[in-house]
Amino acid sequence: MGRIIFYEDRNFQGRHYETSSDCPELTSYLSRCHSIRVESGCFMVYDRPNFMGNQFLMRRGEYADYMSMNMTTSIENKIFKQHNGKRRIIFYEDRNFQGRSYECMSDCPDMSSYLSRCHSCRVESGCFMVYERPNFMGNQYFMRRGEAHERATMVKLLNRAEVQVQSVWSGLDQVS
């Protein structure tokens, strides 16, 4: 199991909350979160309760001034391993998995040369971290094997008016 510590102030100061398990709502433990220390494992951190909103994959390390994110309000402990098998995700320009498609089997720092827009996608194998902006920047969305999403579903899950897919990272597979 992993271990993560949330601090109310920058540079790991102030009150803190430590956990190794899922927590659908953190605001009862802390009033704000300005720094995070991941001592082991990987965690998916969300900016809304009940594992909703923007997702942030937090790997082992220290995040001393974590102001780029709104209040962390829920967390899932994820166990990842290096994915050595075949990875495959297919992005479609149109709804209902129609129109021009782009099959991605490795990292892709900029999808704009392949697709002008993404309205649906399907994960055939492996796991992917999808980013809103090129070069693995912007909001993240973790997608697992077997999941298929329409743009409207992604908009609802992320609680955003618009979702763009611009880059893809394919290096991990989820164990639990």
Share of the chain above pLDDT 90, in %: 8
Three-state DSSP at 31 gives: coil
pLDDT at 13: 93
113 phi and psi, to 5 degrees?
Answer: -80, -15
Mean pLDDT throughout 95-124?
Answer: 84
Residue 81's nearest CA partner among 140, 136, 126, 17 is 126
User: 70 and 97 share a domain?
Assistant: no
What mean pLDDT comes out for the span 20-34? Answer: 83
Sign for the pseudo-dihedral over CA of 110, 92, 171, 140: positive
- Is there a single domain that holds both residue 37 and residue 69? yes
Q: For residue 142, what are the domain limits?
A: 88-174
Please enumerate in sequence order all residues whose Cβ is within 8 A of that of 152, keeping only pairs 6 or more positions apart, or say none.
none
Greater confidence, 106 or 71? 106
Do the domain assignments include residue 83? no
Output the domain CATH number for residue 133.
Answer: 2.60.20.10
Q: Is residue 130 part of a domain?
A: yes
Q: Transcribe 110-129 into DSSP letters.
A: -GGGT-S--SEEEEEES-EE
pLDDT for 80 equals 55
Q: Pick the last residue of a domain from 60, 78, 96.
A: 78
pTM of the model: 0.62
Q: Identify whether residues 128 and 169 lie together within a single domain.
A: yes
pLDDT digits (tens, 9 = 90+) for 37-68: 999 888 888 877 887 777 788 888 998 886 65
| Distances in whole angstroms, Cα of residue 17 to Cα of each of 20, 62, 133, 142 | 10, 15, 31, 24
Residues 140 and 115 in one domain: yes
Is residue 176 very low, low, confident or very high in pLDDT (cuts 50, 70, 90)?
very low
**Band of the pLDDT at 14, cuts 50, 70, 90?**
very high
pLDDT surpassing 80 at residue 107: yes
Number of domains in the chain: 2
Query: Tokens for 111?
Result: 């999808």
pLDDT mean over 121-145 = 81
